[in-house]
Chains A and B, each alone.
Chain A
């Protein structure tokens, strides 16, 4: 970055939601993650501007697109919001042993270098604890391809951790706090770097 960023410029947080359900455990988990991020950043921090991209509701302009040139303007805008975010939260339920199909389709349309060195927080939900390694064996390699900076602690929650879509298990809350402490450090360092960067 080559210009000074005023303190009021928000952190842009983009959530890519891989769940097909309107109300989902995956978004129940993300709600807690975003709320915790606000807490961890603190009141004196730059505000958070959150955008959610529900890949299962992007419509035929998304599902019918074979490449980036084929997407509609609305889908193009959604892809740009993900590409230009300060923090990307990649959240998906486990389907057939991995992230969902439309979740992958979204990232198949993301520019190859748009996520390079971008902080990416990985989150997933599954029917049981035996799905937890989807974070390390499916999600992290995907963002490894993009040369993204995946946050060291990724977050998994099982169906049994939720009452409906409300996350109840305190152990998962603890894990989220650990992950977001690292995220907050990265965001603050980068913001400070932008402020001290030379003008012009």
Chain B
């Protein structure tokens, strides 16, 4: 299958590096939809919005952002990245994404995940003690809703459904549901057993970091009787496409370092990522998707060779990159990187999500 290439955003609200001023949520929302539009216009395949329930992100309700993006775009697929399913009602998730599917002519998808931020659990009255059980049960319900209607179902965390009519149905036969996996072996195994497509997150580290994860996923899938080789795998990593190697790194680094400072805490506080560490992560053996168009093509093909990727989502703009640079990066990804990667990977057999 041709590798699909897209972008992912969390709708971060980050202070301006020089003035310290925060952009308004309204402006960030407008910019987020503009990202979707440009990504669509330059021919990218997927636009993803992450879910974070804090004032430093505008993406608390990705389904609504995606519904707006549906109206602003023509062809691009629209996905959550991820839907924090453990603190959601799967009935509502289905209704919302089926609605996006109708609005967009069948372009909606869900990446269900446990979530790496935990703010949503107390907000919606869930106990983090039940984190694993919540996700397992809610994923089960979401898959059952997709599978049949009306539905009779019961579980621990919500009232039972008796012959429940859940509407609307999707525009096509179904909605693709992926599972987001950060790399814990148990998540990969559970996802493989269910035979669901797996979206891997690679924050930092070597390209090989997920070899074990993918092995466990495919062998668990095979053991459960699924066609393991045919299951789609996607990967998401931070990145930026510049005019040149140097331009890409110089543009991305200060914002990315800022985003890491704000979000990746150690000893209860952020830490400054040195430029040398960033450059190491940008090297051919490491996972950051930053570089010139040709560098990105090379790196994505390396990823594809190693994992048999079906989809790549480049998390772009983390840390408050100005909209102008950000849109230029999206444009280069769509016009200079994606066509080459698609052409080079078109030989492998087709797999539906």
Residues of A within 8 A of B (CB): 159-166, 168-171
Contacts and interface: CB of A to CB of B under 8 A. Distances in A.
B189 interface: yes
B132 A164 contact: yes
Q: Is chain A's binding surface mostly helix, strand, loop or mixed?
A: mixed
B133 A164 contact: yes
B132 A168 contact: no
Interface of B: 132-133, 136, 183-187, 189-190, 216, 219-220
B136 A159 contact: no
B190 A170 contact: no
Contact of B184 (A159, A166, A171): A159
B216 A163 contact: no
Contacts of A162: 132, 186
Contacts of A166: 186
Contacts of B220: 168
Contact of B216 (A159, A164, A165, A169): A169
Given A170-B216, A170-B219, A161 B185 contact: yes
A163 B136 contact: yes
A165 B189 CA distance: 14
A97 B108 CA distance: 46
Contacts of A159: 184
B139 to A, nearest CB: 11
Contacts of B185: 160-161, 168-169, 171
A105 to B, nearest CB: 25
A161 B187 CA distance: 8
Residue in B136, B184, B187 whose Cβ sees the most chain A Cβ within 10 Å: B184
A163 B219 contact: no
B154 to A, nearest CB: 19
B189 A168 contact: yes
Nearest to B133: A164
A97 to B, nearest CB: 16
